[in-house]
Amino acid sequence: MFRGTGPAHAARSFHDATSSIPTVSSPYARSEAFTDPRRKQTIISLLDVLSELSNEVSADSDANLPSNFEDDRDVPTVDEKLQVAGSESFNKFEKRIDNLDKELRNFANAARQLGSSVGILSSAFRLRERLTKLLFLFRENAATLFPRKISRQPRETLVNPNLMDRRRTWRGQQPPLRPIHDDGLDPESFPGQFASFAEDVVTFLNCLNEFPEFTDEAVNTSMRAFEVDLKYWASCLQEYKGQFRYPAVQRYIHDLTSEIGEHIDNITVNLSMFIEIGVPTIRFAQQHAAANLLNLSTVATFFSAVTATTLQFSYQLTDGVLEKSVNAFWFSSLVFSIASAVNSLLDLTWKQAMYRSPGHRVPWWVLIWIKRSPLVFLVMPVTCFSAGLMLFTYATNQGFVTSTITTVFTAVTSFGLAAVSAWFASERWIFVQHRSHVWLEDVINEATHRMLLLSAFVESQKIIYYCNQGILAIRGLIYPLCAEYTERLNSLDAPASEESETSRRSIARQRFKGAVRSVIMMQQQQAGQTPLYLRPFMPPRTPSFDRNSTTGMSPTRFSSIGLNTIRGQRVSTLIPKLKTLEPLQELTNHTALVRHLQFSPNGKYLATSSWDRSSIIFRVGESFSTQAVLVHVRGFIGQVAWSATGMILLTRLTRGIKVWTEDGLCKRTIDRPHSVSSIAWLPNSETQFFSVEGSDVFKLDTQGKVLDSYHFGRIQLHNVAVTPDGQRLLGVGPLLAAPNGLHPSRTTRVEKRIIVFNIETRTFENQTPVVNDVRDITISKRGGNVLISFERKTPPQLWKMELVRDARGQPYAQVARLLLRHTYLPKAQVDFAGSSYFGGKEDQLVLCAGKSGDIHIWDRDSAALLHYIRPQTFGGDLTCVAWNHSTDEPFMFATGSHDGTVRIWTTPAGDRSSDDASYLERRTDAGVSDQSSPILSPPPVPGSSRREKAPTIRTTFSIGPG
């Protein structure tokens, strides 16, 4: 776990580390430096010992030492598992790119046989070339992050894949391959490449939709979604201009390979189905259209031959008007039939040409002439020939029967031809207007129905009027007869009506009795119910926003094998102690899920919040006791936050904040107009805190007055943390929209960011993109370590915050920058519960709980898993965890669960001076407790009057400030 290459390298590493300490000018560095003289002397002594040992090492041993890395992308600081996982992720992405390139190549080969395929072939070639460029950029990015697993690709080998497929021998020689024009292929070109990739995808899709014979909605949906996401990523990445060589941005780009790979897989599968089904369908439709045109050309040719034959009998008849009309019609028929045959062949040739232009790039009159002229020119010669044949019978003085029959048959066939042509034209118009949602028959029926309704309505009004007049006249005549007949019937049906009236009364009486009985039962149930505000209630689970107010940062950074050796000795002493952790006490006061819990900074109290609408303050001791129960009548408690001295407690509601004392007295209720997602105290303040509400952060005091506000633009903050000096505010949350207003598709996750905001200058010093859903952010108590917690199964990460010179501002101005140091990996995949926290002395541990009840404890600096607590049989699913920072002997932390149980974990205490004194008193006597807090009194012993005192229950019903 801790690797070393020799005392010489360790000595040099220690020398570099210790020599950099006095030269640090940042205030955070001075706070992190070895200010203790004894500690510094110990390190110097150890350095001397290592220097003496280095003299005994052979001179050639330095050649076997690993290279010294000076930036955050160095190999020793990256865990081997992350190296393997990163390389596997890239290899999977590369395989997906290769599969799509293969399908595009197969599609190009299959589409060569189709008409008008030059557009789709050209777009497929451009798409393949774009994939090659993107793969090269992603490989360069992965090789920078994982140099031991991913090798770089020489730019000389970056060859256009389309040229490789088209290599042909000429005179026994192969032409040399020309590389891709790689100008601009650097990390800064990622946004432009994504935008160009989106354009190439849309161009390919538009060319694909140019084939009206087949349309695949799956291909359209997958490519449209990919286009939206590519434009979204390109717009978001534009904001990181000049930062694409930073490790944080490089990791974000590498994480995008999973999202891009899923889109590529969908397109690959849909494209493969299109090749198997769509291409044969298009080919069959085009062949069918070609056969129709051939048949049309054949019919036109045959008809022209018939017309030319009949002209031999009439071309010499030029005496009268009829004879001239016959020749005019038949000559016109011959001309139109020849034009129909020629245009049919022209249309056939144009449809089968692979280089023909798409339909939307051809003038409308050209399309109409090519597509409509063959059929129109065939109908016109038939009409002219029929008219000429009819006139020919009269011009040649044929018999009456012959002339009449020819005229009648010509009129009937002409009418049928005109009717069918009109029907075809109407169907075409209906299709254009309604897009095949309505048929021509439906339109005709609807129009006919409207006409009938219009005429029938007028006639029905007249009929109803005359009927009413007749009914009034008849009523006056037959009314006396009807009255007499009705009286006779009533006299006969009187017994039956009395029986029915009796049955109706009995049914009504039974219903009344049942209603009275139901009301009595409801009153009895309500009399035995508990009050509504003490009744447990389980609303839907919402994300957790837990806090840790201890903060700090340092710009010093160095990694050496010698320090790892000392760190290994320190870790080896922690492991036996962590193995002694055991549950001390179970607190079952809550009746519903425990949402959040936190120890006070002075270690006197533990505050919890639950979905039973109550928050409880426990007094910490050998045996925890209830200090106060804080009942909230309205809303659910999402978070508790202690002030720096532990004398003021804040409870966060959905749209409000309550201010409590340590004794459970509600000082004020602060109502907010928007939903409050997080609260955080200002460092060393008892009156001021931050309230996170959407994209705004408000600075409030305990009286509810708004002191200041900060707007974070398009970022919806989930949680914030404040640096110890109060100069910077760190926040995490998703991006509401891209700079150009775009949103990702439904299957793609939005971009999340870690923000470093300077409170004094009101500027964003650093924005770090992440792919996974962020949950919480915590800053270490003294160091510049930032702990980021994620949702679900993503492990927590440790980021280093350092101060660097601001190249954009004043020469001596400094800005903060975040650098990823560690990812804390569990033994197996875990669904994490709540947020992760620092623990131990000087925040040397990282603590996180799983939903199944397991607990993981890592070493902060080495990311080594020191202790793993398996799920307990007596414990339910965990929801949150909190560490007691006021004591290092013994270790203590608390966990909350779904069933409302709060469990206290601790290590056995080493020295117990008195059974009646709590460990807090011993910490105070040893001078370890906080000097600013009052002396803590021991908890009441069993049997004493203080122990028998009932806990204080504070219930507030006030709505406004109180």
In the structure, what pLDDT confidence band is assigned to residue 485 with cuts at 50, 70 and 90? Answer: low
φ, ψ (nearest 5 deg) of residue 200:
-65, -40
126 contacts 189 by C-beta, under 8 angstroms: no
In the structure, what pLDDT confidence band is assigned to residue 676 with cuts at 50, 70 and 90? Answer: very high
Q: Give the per-residue pLDDT at 918.
A: 36
Cα separation, 581 vs 907, whole angstroms: 5
DSSP for residue 189? G
Residue with the bigger pLDDT between 806 and 920: it is 806
Residue 185: is its pLDDT beyond 90?
Answer: no
Residue 679: is its pLDDT beyond 60?
Answer: yes
In the structure, what pLDDT confidence band is assigned to residue 476 with cuts at 50, 70 and 90? Answer: low
Residue 555: is its pLDDT beyond 50?
Answer: no
User: Of the ranges 51-55, 633-637, 826-830, which one carries the lowest mean pLDDT score?
Assistant: 51-55
For the stretch 707-716, contacts whose Cβ atoms lie closer than 8 Å and that sit 24 or more positions apart, written own/partner, are 710/757, 710/759, 710/762, 712/755, 712/757, 714/739, 715/753, 715/755
In the structure, what pLDDT confidence band is assigned to residue 455 with cuts at 50, 70 and 90? Answer: low
Q: Give the per-residue pLDDT at 730.
A: 94
Closest by alpha carbon to 141, among 262, 263, 245, 260?
245
Residue with the bigger pLDDT between 673 and 82: it is 673
Cα separation, 715 vs 707, whole angstroms: 22
φ, ψ (nearest 5 deg) of residue 798:
-110, 125
| Tokens (6 digits) for 876 | 């339910």
Residue 120, Cα to own-chain centre: how many angstroms?
32
Cα separation, 487 vs 493, whole angstroms: 10
| Tokens (6 digits) for 26 | 């940042």
Q: Give the per-residue pLDDT at 547.
A: 34
Report pLDDT digits (tens) over 492-520. 444 444 445 555 566 666 666 666 566 56
**179, amino acid identity:** P
Give the residue-averaged pLDDT of 405-415.
87
Q: Give the per-residue pLDDT at 21.
A: 40
Residue 896: is its pLDDT beyond 80?
Answer: yes
Closest by alpha carbon to 787, among 852, 858, 689, 715?
858
Give the residue-averaged pLDDT of 638-649.
93
User: Of the ranges 115-129, 280-294, 905-919, which one carries the lowest mean pLDDT score?
Assistant: 905-919
Left, alpha or beta for 495 (phi > 0: left; psi -120 to 50: alpha)? alpha
Spatial neighbors of 31 by CB under 8 A, at least 6 apart, are 552, 554, 782
Q: Give the per-residue pLDDT at 318.
A: 78
Q: Give the per-residue pLDDT at 725.
A: 87
Q: Give the per-residue pLDDT at 118.
A: 82
Give the residue-averaged pLDDT of 173-182.
53
Cα separation, 740 vs 234, whole angstroms: 10
Cα separation, 220 vs 216, whole angstroms: 7
Spatial neighbors of 604 by CB under 8 A, at least 6 apart, are 619, 620, 646, 662, 920, 933, 936
Cα separation, 248 vs 231, whole angstroms: 21
User: Of the ranges 30-34, 36-40, 217-221, 250-254, which one carries the lowest mean pLDDT score?
Assistant: 30-34
DSSP for residue 173? B
Cα separation, 752 vs 718, whole angstroms: 10
Cα separation, 944 vs 492, whole angstroms: 92
Q: Give the per-residue pLDDT at 432.
A: 74
Q: Give the per-residue pLDDT at 464.
A: 77
Neighbours of 308 (CB within 10 A): 15
Report pLDDT digits (tens) over 709-738. 999 989 999 999 999 888 999 999 999 999
Q: Give the per-residue pLDDT at 435.
A: 67
Q: To the nearest 5 percent, what fractions of the chain are helix, strand and coil? A: 45, 20, 35
Neighbours of 516 (CB within 10 A): 10
Cα separation, 647 vs 640, whole angstroms: 13
Give the residue-averaged pLDDT of 578-601.
91
**376, amino acid identity:** V
Residue 559: is its pLDDT beyond 70?
Answer: no
Residue 196: is its pLDDT beyond 70?
Answer: yes
Residue 52: is its pLDDT beyond 70?
Answer: no
Give the residue-averaged pLDDT of 570-588.
86
Residue with the bigger pLDDT between 298 and 12: it is 298
Characterize the bridge pairing of strands 763-770 and 774-779: unpaired
| Tokens (6 digits) for 832 | 């994490």
Strand (E) positions, 705-861? 706-711, 719-722, 728-734, 752-758, 763-770, 774-779, 785-790, 797-805, 814-823, 832-839, 845-850, 855-859
Q: Give the per-residue pLDDT at 910.
A: 57
Cis peptide before 543 (omega within 30 of 0): no
Q: How many CA atoms lie within 13 A of 552 on its CB side?
A: 17
CB-count exposure of residue 950 (10 Å: 0-12, 13-18, 19+): exposed
Q: Give the per-residue pLDDT at 672.
A: 93
DSSP for residue 25? -
Residue 483: is its pLDDT beyond 70?
Answer: no
Cα separation, 828 vs 856, whole angstroms: 11
421 contacts 429 by C-beta, under 8 angstroms: no
Q: Give the per-residue pLDDT at 18.
A: 43
Q: Tokens 């439906």 belong to which residue? A: 442
Give the residue-averaged pLDDT of 816-844.
88
| DSSP string computed for 886-905 | T-SSS-EEEEEETTS-EEEE
Residue 853: is its pLDDT beyond 50?
Answer: yes
Residue with the bigger pLDDT between 190 and 952: it is 190
Spatial neighbors of 579 by CB under 8 A, at least 6 apart, are 867
**540, amino acid identity:** P
Left, alpha or beta for 842 (phi > 0: left; psi -120 to 50: alpha)? left
Q: Give the per-residue pLDDT at 723.
A: 92
φ, ψ (nearest 5 deg) of residue 731:
-140, 155
φ, ψ (nearest 5 deg) of residue 559:
-130, 125
Q: Give the per-residue pLDDT at 182.
A: 58
Q: Give the per-residue pLDDT at 303.
A: 86
The residues facing 608 across adjacent strands are 597, 616
Report pLDDT digits (tens) over 63-122. 333 333 333 343 344 467 788 888 999 999 999 999 999 999 998 888 887 877 788 888
Q: Give the per-residue pLDDT at 893.
A: 93
Q: Mapping DSSP to helix (H, G, I), strand (E, B) and coil, where does residue 914 land?
A: coil
pLDDT more than 70, % of the chain: 71
Q: Which of 503-507, 519-523, 776-780, 918-922 has the highest mean pLDDT?
A: 776-780
Q: Give the per-residue pLDDT at 37.
A: 60
Q: Give the per-residue pLDDT at 952.
A: 47
855 contacts 889 by C-beta, under 8 angstroms: no
For the stretch 438-444, contacts whose Cβ atoms lie closer than 8 Å and that sit 24 or more positions apart, written own/partner, are none
875 contacts 905 by C-beta, under 8 angstroms: no
Q: What DSSP element (H or E) covers 628?
A: strand 625-632
Query: Average pLDDT over the chain, rounded to whole?
Result: 76
Residue 549: is its pLDDT beyond 50?
Answer: no
In the structure, what pLDDT confidence band is assigned to residue 538 with cuts at 50, 70 and 90? Answer: very low
